[in-house]
């Protein structure tokens, strides 16, 4: 089968994002942290998620400004708390950029096929399938529930949730919690029905194969990790 519908092999995308995500978490120096954010933004742009790239890059820049101002304000408990929260927020933004890039480069089926090809155990595959399907399903259910409530003139208008928090909890949060339990059970059963619990190796509709694009992405990933390692552990 041709793999023209794919940009790169999902194994390449998965491993590259995992390595870059690990580097992002371990980057403590400002030079390394800012560089890995730039790499994440480039990945998002290359994947076609330019809106998310702009929004998250702006958020990262704002957080960096807040952190710089806080660091120059002294060593009080409040300043330390602001710096720590800003540090964690920066990591979250970079990981979000990388996660969005992965979601654009590989579909859920591609990621599951990649995990199967890499020999991941069933104890990993089934939870991954449930998690990857869970959040899009719940988001769609929440959207439908919101539209239904607005049609009945509930949750209409700005600030309604703040004026009637108990009603919002009753009409929105409780149904979503009940739906979450049901969806998780349905997805787990769906994974088993599709054969993820079987010991036999499944047949792939689109066999995975590495190509020239994968080699280029792998080389760029290794080069990026080398640069980040030098910025993190090299001389100041």
pLDDT, one tens digit per residue, over 175-209 is: 888 888 887 777 777 767 766 656 666 666 666 77
Shared domain for 137 and 84, answered yes or no, is no
Residue numbers of the chain with a pLDDT score lower than 70: 1-7, 122, 126, 132, 153-162, 164, 191, 194-207, 236
Shared domain for 40 and 99, answered yes or no, is yes
Q: Output DSSP code: residue 203.
A: P
What is the residue range of 123's domain?
119-205
Shared domain for 170 and 90, answered yes or no, is no
Shared domain for 2 and 101, answered yes or no, is yes
pTM over 0.85: no
In a domain, 114, yes or no: no
pLDDT, one tens digit per residue, over 20-46 is: 999 999 988 889 999 999 999 999 998
Shared domain for 169 and 83, answered yes or no, is no
Shared domain for 1 and 102, answered yes or no, is yes
Shared domain for 70 and 89, answered yes or no, is yes
CA of 45: how far to CAs of 69, 102, 124, 182, 219, in Å?
29, 12, 30, 36, 18
In a domain, 19, yes or no: yes
Shared domain for 67 and 180, answered yes or no, is no
Shared domain for 184 and 128, answered yes or no, is yes
Longest dimension (CA), the chain: 64
Shared domain for 150 and 214, answered yes or no, is no
The total of structural domains in the chain comes to 2
pLDDT of 1 reads 35
Q: How far apart are CA 177 and CA 161, in angstroms?
A: 18
């Amino acid at each position: 089968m041709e793999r023209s519908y794919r940009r790169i092999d999902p194994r390449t995308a998965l491993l590259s994002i995992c390595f870059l995500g690990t580097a992002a978490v371990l980057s403590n120096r400002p030079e390394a942290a800012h560089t890995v954010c730039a790499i994440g933004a480039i990945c998002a742009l290359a994947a076609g998620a330019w809106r998310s790239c702009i929004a998250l890059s702006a958020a990262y820049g704002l957080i960096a400004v807040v952190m710089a101002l806080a660091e120059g304000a002294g060593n009080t408990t409040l300043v330390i708390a602001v710096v720590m929260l800003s540090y964690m927020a920066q990591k979250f933004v970079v990981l979000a950029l990388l996660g969005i890039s992965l979601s654009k480069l590989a579909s859920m089926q591609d990621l599951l096929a990649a995990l199967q090809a890499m020999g991941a155990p069933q104890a990993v595959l089934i939870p991954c399938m449930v998690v990857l399907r869970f959040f899009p399903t719940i988001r769609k259910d929440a959207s439908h529930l919101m539209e239904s409530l607005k049609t009945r003139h509930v949750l209409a208008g700005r600030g309604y949730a703040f004026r009637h928090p108990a009603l919002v909890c009753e009409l929105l949060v409780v149904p979503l919690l009940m739906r979450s339990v049901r969806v998780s059970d349905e997805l787990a059963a769906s994974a088993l029905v599709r054969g993820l619990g079987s010991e036999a190796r499944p047949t792939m509709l689109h066999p995975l194969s590495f190509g020239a694009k994968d080699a280029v992405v792998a080389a760029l990933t290794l080069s990026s990790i080398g640069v980040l390692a030098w910025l993190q552990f090299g001389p100041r």
